[in-house]
C-alpha cells in the first residue's frame, strides 16, 4: 500500500494570441491601441509605461511627442507613466544591468498588475522588456510593437521572452503571451536593408516546414522582396506571422514542454554562430546559414532530393543571404569545431532528447534525434565551396 495521499485539480488558463496589423498606430485618429488597452473591465485609467528602441526613436524623431499627444487625446482612459528608451539589438539581451533598470522604473512609476508595459522595437528589445514585464510583480500585461520585419513576422508574435546569460542565447526567459501585438508597418520605413531582409529568412523557414505554396510565393515574389516593395513585405510578414501564431496555438505544445521545436529549424547552428561571432552576425543572417546547413544535411542523408535542396539554396542566394561564415571553421583547444557544440547546447536548452527538425520535402518536415557530425561537416564544406 502506498503511503502518500494527494490532491489534484486541473488548471486551464485560456490565452488569446492576438496580432493586429495597422499603420501609424499613434496617430490620434487610430483608436486601435486605446480600444485594446481599455477592452478589459472598466475601472481606473490604465497606467502605461513605454520602452522604445533607441534606433527607432532616433529614426522617428516625433514619436515620443506623438505618443504623448495620443495619451492627451484619450486622457480619460489612459495615463502615460513615461516613455523610456533602451539601446536595441543583441547587446541589450547581453547587458546584465538592463533588467535592474526596468524593474527600477516599474517600482518608481508604480506600475502594477493592472497597468501595461509597451515595448516598441526590434526582437531583442521585445525579448528583454517582455521578460521584465513577465517577471515584475509576477507578470504585468504587455503590448508588443515589433519594428523589424523579423519582429513582425516571428520574434514579436510568439509567447516567449528572454535574455542571454554568459552570452548563451535566451538562457533566462519566460513563456508569457503578450496582451496584444500590434504590427505597425510604418515603423519599417526607417529600418536598414539588412534588417528588412532578415525577416524573410524566418518566412522561408516556416514555409519549408509547413507550407510549400508559401515557398512558391516567396520564389515568385523574390524580385519585389529584394526591392523591399511594401506590398510584398506586408504579405510575407502577414503570412509568416499567421503560420507562427497558428503553430503555437494548434501544435499542442505552446509552452514547449516537449522536445520538438519545428520553428527552430536551422537554429541549432544559428544560435551558436551568433555567439561565436560575438553577435556581429545578426539572428537573421545566422539563421540563413543554419537553414543552408540543415538543408544540405537533409539532402546528404538522403531525406531530401537534390532538386529541392538546390531550390532552397538558390532562393537564399536570390534574396542575398550569405550561406557561409568563417565562424564555421573555428575550432576549440582540442581541435573540435565550435559550431558542433551548438548541437549539445541546443539539446541542453530544449531539455531531454536532442531533437532536430529536418526536411523531407519543401513544406514537409520530420525530426531526428541524432546528427552525424561528419555529414554536418561535409555539408559545411560544400557551403564553403559555394561561397
Ligand atoms: N522571442 C522569440 O520567440 C524570438 C523569436 C525569434 C527571434 N528572437 C530574437 O529576436 C532578436 C532579433 O530581432 P531583430 O531581427 O528584430 O533584431 P534586433 O532587435 O537586434 O534589431 C536590429 C537592429 O535594428 C534596430 N531597429 C529596430 N527597429 C528599427 C527601425 N524601425 N528603424 C531603424 N532601426 C531599427 C535595432 O535597434 C537594432 O540595432 C534576437 O535576439 C532573437 O534571438 C526571439
Ligand atoms: Zn529565429
Ligand 1 centre to CA of 125 (Å) is: 7
So what's the pLDDT on residue 1? 61
Ligand 1 lined by 266 (C-beta under 6 Å): no
Mutate to test the pocket of ligand 1, among 124, 194, 282 (most ligand atoms within 8 A of CB): 124
Q: Which residue's alpha carbon is at the smallest distance from atom 7 of ligand 1?
A: 155
Domains of the chain: 19-190 (3.40.50.1970), 194-386 (1.20.1090.10)
- Rounded to 5°, the CA angle 36-41-43 comes to 105
301 in contact with ligand 1, CB cutoff 6 A: no
- 198 CA: nearest ligand 1 atom: 15
Is there an atom of ligand 1 within 6 Å of 88 CB?
yes
160 lines ligand 1 (CB under 6 A): yes
For residue 179, the CA-to-ligand 1 centroid distance in Å is 20
The residue contributing the CA closest to ligand 1 atom 44 is 155
21-71 tens-digit pLDDT: 999 999 999 999 999 999 876 566 799 999 999 999 999 999 999 999 999
Ligand 1 atom at minimum distance from 161 CA: 1
User: How confident is the prediction along the chain (387 residues), in pLDDT tens digits per residue?
Assistant: 679 999 999 999 999 999 999 999 999 999 999 999 998 765 667 999 999 999 999 999 999 999 999 999 999 999 999 999 999 999 999 998 999 999 999 999 999 999 999 999 999 999 999 999 999 999 999 999 999 999 999 999 999 999 999 988 899 999 999 999 999 999 999 999 999 999 999 999 999 999 999 999 999 999 999 999 999 999 999 999 999 999 999 998 899 888 888 999 999 999 999 999 999 999 999 999 999 999 999 999 999 999 999 999 999 999 999 999 999 999 999 999 999 999 999 998 887 789 999 999 999 999 999 999 999 999 999 999 988
Amino acid at each position: 500500500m502506498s503511503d502518500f495521499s494527494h490532491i489534484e485539480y486541473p488548471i486551464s488558463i485560456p490565452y488569446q494570441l492576438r496580432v493586429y496589423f495597422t499603420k501609424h498606430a499613434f496617430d490620434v485618429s487610430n483608436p486601435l491601441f486605446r480600444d485594446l488597452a481599455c477592452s478589459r473591465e472598466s475601472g481606473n485609467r490604465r497606467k502605461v509605461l513605454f520602452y522604445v528602441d533607441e534606433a527607432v526613436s532616433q529614426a522617428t524623431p516625433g514619436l515620443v511627442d506623438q505618443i504623448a499627444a495620443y495619451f492627451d487625446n484619450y486622457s480619460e482612459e489612459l495615463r502615460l507613466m513615461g516613455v523610456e528608451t533602451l539601446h536595441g539589438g543583441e547587446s541589450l539581451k547581453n547587458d546584465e544591468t538592463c533588467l535592474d533598470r526596468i524593474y527600477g522604473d516599474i517600482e518608481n512609476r508604480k506600475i502594477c498588475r493592472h497597468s501595461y508595459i509597451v515595448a516598441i522595437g526590434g526582437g531583442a528589445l521585445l525579448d528583454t522588456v517582455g521578460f521584465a514585464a513577465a517577471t515584475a510583480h509576477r507578470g504585468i500585461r504587455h503590448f508588443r510593437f515589433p519594428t523589424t520585419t523579423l519582429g513582425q513576422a516571428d520574434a514579436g508574435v510568439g509567447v516567449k521572452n528572454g535574455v542571454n546569460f554568459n552570452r548563451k542565447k535566451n538562457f533566462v526567459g519566460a513563456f508569457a503571451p503578450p496582451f496584444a501585438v500590434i504590427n505597425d508597418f510604418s515603423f519599417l520605413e526607417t529600418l536598414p536593408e539588412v534588417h528588412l531582409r532578415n525577416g524573410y529568412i524566418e518566412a522561408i523557414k516556416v514555409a519549408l516546414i509547413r507550407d510549400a505554396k508559401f515557398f512558391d510565393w516567396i520564389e515568385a515574389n523574390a524580385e519585389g522582396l529584394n526591392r523591399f516593395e511594401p506590398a510584398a513585405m506586408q504579405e510575407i510578414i502577414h503570412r509568416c506571422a499567421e503560420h507562427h501564431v497558428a503553430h503555437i496555438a494548434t501544435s499542442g505544445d505552446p509552452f514547449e514542454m516537449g522536445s520538438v521545436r519545428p520553428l527552430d529549424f536551422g537554429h541549432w547552428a544559428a544560435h551558436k554562430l551568433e555567439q561565436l561571432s560575438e553577435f556581429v552576425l545578426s539572428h537573421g543572417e545566422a539563421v540563413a546559414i543554419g537553414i543552408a546547413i540543415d538543408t544540405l544535411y537533409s539532402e546528404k542523408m538522403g531525406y531530401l532530393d537534390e532538386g529541392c535542396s538546390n531550390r532552397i539554396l538558390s532562393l537564399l542566394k536570390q534574396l542575398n543571404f550569405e550561406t557561409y561564415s568563417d565562424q564555421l571553421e573555428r575550432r576549440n583547444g582540442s581541435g573540435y569545431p565550435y559550431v558542433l557544440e551548438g548541437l549539445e547546447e541546443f539539446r541542453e536548452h530544449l531539455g531531454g532528447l536532442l531533437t532536430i527538425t529536418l526536411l523531407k520535402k519543401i513544406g514537409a518536415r520530420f525530426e531526428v534525434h541524432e546528427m552525424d557530425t561528419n555529414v554536418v561537416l561535409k555539408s559545411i564544406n560544400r557551403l564553403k565551396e559555394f561561397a
